[in-house]
Structure 1
Amino acid sequence: MSEQVFLLPDLGEGLTEAEIVQWRVAVGDVVTIDQTVVEVETAKAVVDVPCPYAGRVVALHGAEGEVRPVGQPLITVAAPGGAEPAGHAVYREEERAGSGNVLIGYGTGHGRSSRRRRLRPGAHTSAPAAVSVPAAVPAPTAVPAPTAVPAPAAVVPAAVASAATAPTRPVAALVISPIVRRLARERGVDLATVRGTGPGGVVRRADVEAAADAATSATEGTVGVGQVDQLAAHVGLASTGAGDTVIPLTGIRRAIADKLSRSRREIPEVTIWVDADATALLGTRAAINAAHPDQPVSILALLARICLSGLRRYPQLNARVDTEGQRIVQSAGVHLGIAAQTDRGLVVPVLRDADRLTTVELAAELAATTKAARAGELPPARLTGGTFTLNNYGVFGVDGSTPIINHPEAALLGVGRIVDKPWVVDGQLAVRKVTQLSLTFDHRVCDGGVAGGFLRHVADCVERPEVLIAAV
């Protein structure tokens, strides 16, 4: 066998497709076993895909921005001299044994390249789908990708002129973040024309926005209404009226929309709330951090600890409704979800068995998890399987909210901002640090007595942290 087709592997967690974000190789390149060949975005995360074969790339199946189903061809690799590609026998043996080593993030056991590596100047980021290049034809010199806007004729190098029938490859900008690439596609910016201001010339989000604003200023007043559809088609948008912006509902954004819509359709949710004096909680946090400055504890970590205490007392809220089996399933452990706002949308990373962690361990795990979530570095498995969610919407400067439950969970605790408010203490009016707590719960799993008891316990722990100690 001289060629081997690598199929998009099973992504797990019910994922059936992935969008190609960036090709890391081009047709004609030589790849090694477990070399990252493409970066894809699923409904859960942006991940790298390693190839289990070694050899020369014959074809790339799919263009950047295209959604590919699991099990469909992704890349074709040919071994030199028509021999079986290196790693093929190993791959076939693992596939028969059901090892699952070819799933995203695992490779084939021969090591793996770093998740995000900076591209070299002139490295290729895209290639035509399923295009084969004869081995005898030298790779053409990179030239800028053509655009729909007329421009002066470019000088073509002699090497390109002699290989006019071979496909050309665009010059790749130094771009690390998939968010930057997506923003460039949405705003119609050619990354090859953008000068990066980041370290080593890396193109940042601000660079793309500046280029888009400059292009808008340059063309303002010169584009007629009749040209809007043509420009929209050029940047990959649907045909719309003048001034409209169309954002494709794909990847994580689509998964968020589907999940929230399902939650609202299926769950009869109720929201209750209470104001709580958080002055003592802030004082407790300051005392803990003063005693252990090398292991700081956040307010979010203390609130997580309070949630865990409440769920130990009211396990009915740490549950889900199995509609097919007509039953309520209460989880043995607490897998705490933490709502985190990222540039790619709202995600809820999960802390497995959070009830087994100490407060200091909770703080460290929360900090690491939220940081990885905002960087888009969490694997899909870390974004599913939660049993209860904590949502700190106070970071947006708001007091209250009636959030949608993270399906299939049964409850969600929301925390508003902590601000100075007048508060009665021992019959005297005083200025205290006050926050609003809200509990949104599935009325199928419990009634108001359980929900009210849980929220009151949380509020009591916020106002008097010694209650939390007594409940442990």
Structure 2
Amino acid sequence: MAQVLEFKLPDLGEGLTEAEIVRWLVEVGDVVAVDQPVVEVETAKAMVEVPCPYGGVVTARFGEEGTELPVGSPLITVAVGAPVTDGSTDGSAAKSEGSGNVLVGYGTSEAPARRRRVRPGQGAPVASPAANGQAAVREVVEGPVPVISPLVRRLARENGLDLRELTGSGPDGLILRADVENALRSAAAQDKVAEPAPTAPPQTSAPVLGGIRVPLKGIRGAVADKLSRSRREIPDATCWVDADATELMRARTAMNAAGGPKISLLALLARICTAALARFPELNSTVDMAAREVVQFDHVHIGFAAQTERGLVVPVVRDAHARDAESLTAEFVRLTEAARTGGLTPGELTGGTFTLNNYGVFGVDGSTPIINHPEAAMLGVGRIIPKPWVHEGELAVRQVVQLSLTFDHRVCDGGTAGGFLRYVADCVEQPAVLLRTL
């Protein structure tokens, strides 16, 4: 006799208390293996797949795509030990034991078993909660629509677009973002043509408020909370300096001309930061107000600001102090791609000790960024552009960049912050200064 077990949304760690259902990976009636991902959710930090610790037949799902669920809410129920009939004669059945692994991203290394269906009329009917709260028997399930990323699927869902009606322009009919955007534009144009002639607005006794209300949830909500907390708790100050980056740009060109993987400018700046933090460790720290202590770290985990379709995220390069420019470049590339596709894990978005913010990519020279709480400092880098500069006693056109350092005034005074920034500027102007720390 089958035993029905309930799997709840697990504790996602890092203070996360809720998640939004992006995409169900199983249907009611599917047979799932132990630790097989059953749903893709979006937290305030990342898009992750949630594996189920039970093996058996899915008997119910809770929550539609787009629904936010708090941690501890039911996700699915699984009939463990239920009879499975899929036309096979090998007598195989799903594993009935649970793995005990309920943290996001952690499961067995075995590949998920092939999903099978409990056919209508064979065994007990399988029900899922319907929209009106009553059980409904699902007999026919359509195959998944091939979509390039969950972000594209979400864009369609938020605009009421049925992906099954689209023909993808990607390989093998893959639906791309451009396909969804074109369909939305076409729908908007048709709606405009079909609009009736405007009529006079009804008279009201109270003014009608206009504008668009955007919920502060998901990544945007997390960013809002963190920035607000930083402003409340951290007495920050900012200092800045202009630097001649001509020699740094020449050094990078020479490195890349020598063959091998290309070295990014961000990697060189990160390497400069790790050398500067070794000299000024006060800025690689956090403040523990409960203990009234400044905690200096013995490692450097560099976060870097990355703008994505889902908002601003700060992926973290672990042990940046132990990496060379080539390794840093590779890790920046990997994390940037994961950020773009929404594939960063919560662990890759937390634990930073210092942040590097290259706002020059937005075409601006300077900024006074808000510190990424609970860190103690952030280096900002503006755009590098030709400017008149006095070089070796003569006026010349040089590649100039503005550097800014925002720091927690509780961990150090202006002398330390200025010394850090001056060292960074010296390394930008004379990359050979770094040879002392290699």
Q: TM-score, normalised by structure 1?
A: 0.80
What amino acid maps onto 2:433 in structure 1?
V
- 1:133 deviates by 4.6
Q: Is 1:267 aligned to residue 234 of structure 2?
A: yes
Counting only pairs closer than 5 Å after superposition, residues 175-254 of structure 1 correspond to structure 2 as 175-220=147-192, 222=195, 244-254=211-221
What is the alpha-carbon distance in structure 2 between the residues aligned to residue 362 and residue 127 of structure 1? Answer: 49
What is the match of residue 363 of structure 2? 397
- 1:32 deviates by 2.6
Is the 8 Å Cα contact of residues 151 and 342 (structure 2) preserved in structure 1? Answer: no
Counting only pairs closer than 5 Å after superposition, residues 87-126 of structure 1 correspond to structure 2 as 87-91=95-99, 94=100, 101-112=101-112
Q: Is 1:433 aligned to residue 399 of structure 2?
A: yes
- 1:224 deviates by 7.8
Deviations 1:181-219 (A, max 9, x none): 222233333333333222222222222222222222222
Is the 8 Å Cα contact of residues 350 and 385 (structure 1) preserved in structure 2? Answer: yes
What is the match of residue 120 of structure 1? none
What is the alpha-carbon distance in structure 2 between the residues aligned to residue 111 and residue 225 of structure 1? Answer: 58
Is the 8 Å Cα contact of residues 172 and 191 (structure 1) preserved in structure 2? Answer: no
Q: Is 1:418 aligned to residue 390 of structure 2?
A: no
What is the alpha-carbon distance in structure 1 between the residues aligned to residue 389 and residue 215 of structure 2? Answer: 48
Q: Is 1:35 aligned to residue 36 of structure 2?
A: yes
Deviations 1:306-337 (A, max 9, x none): 10111111111111111222221111111111
- 1:241 deviates by 6.4
Counting only pairs closer than 5 Å after superposition, residues 55-454 of structure 1 correspond to structure 2 as 55-79=56-80, 81=82, 86-91=94-99, 94=100, 101-112=101-112, 128=130, 132-133=135-136, 139-140=139-140, 173-220=145-192, 222=195, 244-291=211-258, 293-454=259-420
- 1:340 deviates by 1.2
My pick for the range that moved more, 102-111 or 247-256, is: 102-111
What is the alpha-carbon distance in structure 1 between the residues aligned to residue 178 and residue 19 of structure 2? Answer: 27
What is the alpha-carbon distance in structure 2 between the residues aligned to residue 71 and residue 263 of structure 1? Answer: 29
- 1:141 deviates by 7.0
What is the alpha-carbon distance in structure 2 between the residues aligned to residue 435 and residue 262 of structure 1? Answer: 30
What amino acid maps onto 1:180 in structure 2?
V
Task: Give the secondary structure class of the aligned counterpart of 1:429.
Answer: strand
Deviations 1:398-441 (A, max 9, x none): 11111111011010001111111111112211111111111111
What is the alpha-carbon root mean square deviation over aligned residues? 2.7
| 1:102–1:141 CA distance, 2 compared to 1 (3 A) | closer
What is the alpha-carbon distance in structure 2 between the residues aligned to residue 70 and residue 46 of structure 1? Answer: 15
Is the 8 Å Cα contact of residues 322 and 329 (structure 1) preserved in structure 2? Answer: yes
| 1:363–1:131 CA distance, 2 compared to 1 (3 A) | farther
Q: TM-score, normalised by structure 2?
A: 0.86
Is the 8 Å Cα contact of residues 24 and 37 (structure 1) preserved in structure 2? Answer: yes
What is the alpha-carbon distance in structure 2 between the residues aligned to residue 189 and residue 203 of structure 1? Answer: 13
What is the alpha-carbon distance in structure 2 between the residues aligned to residue 344 and residue 284 of structure 1? Answer: 35
Task: Give the secondary structure class of the aligned counterpart of 1:273.
Answer: strand
What is the alpha-carbon distance in structure 2 between the residues aligned to residue 268 and residue 81 of structure 1? Answer: 60
| 1:9–1:349 CA distance, 2 compared to 1 (3 A) | same
Q: Is 1:463 aligned to residue 429 of structure 2?
A: yes
| 1:465–1:364 CA distance, 2 compared to 1 (3 A) | same
What is the match of residue 55 of structure 2? 54
Is the 8 Å Cα contact of residues 381 and 401 (structure 2) preserved in structure 1? Answer: yes
What amino acid maps onto 2:174 in structure 1?
V
What amino acid maps onto 1:175 in structure 2?
V
Is the 8 Å Cα contact of residues 36 and 113 (structure 1) preserved in structure 2? Answer: no
What is the alpha-carbon distance in structure 2 between the residues aligned to residue 423 and residue 307 of structure 1? Answer: 24
What is the alpha-carbon distance in structure 2 between the residues aligned to residue 106 and residue 224 of structure 1? Answer: 57
Is the 8 Å Cα contact of residues 52 and 87 (structure 1) preserved in structure 2? Answer: no
| 1:80–1:225 CA distance, 2 compared to 1 (3 A) | farther
What is the alpha-carbon distance in structure 1 between the residues aligned to residue 420 and residue 113 of structure 2? Answer: 47
What is the alpha-carbon distance in structure 2 between the residues aligned to residue 399 and residue 312 of structure 1? Answer: 27
Deviations 1:351-375 (A, max 9, x none): 1121111222222222222222222
| 1:51–1:224 CA distance, 2 compared to 1 (3 A) | farther
Aligned residues with identical type, % of pairs = 59
What is the alpha-carbon distance in structure 1 between the residues aligned to residue 166 and residue 46 of structure 2? Answer: 26
Is the 8 Å Cα contact of residues 53 and 86 (structure 1) preserved in structure 2? Answer: no
Q: Which runs of 5+ in 2 are unaligned?
A: 85-92, 115-127, 202-207
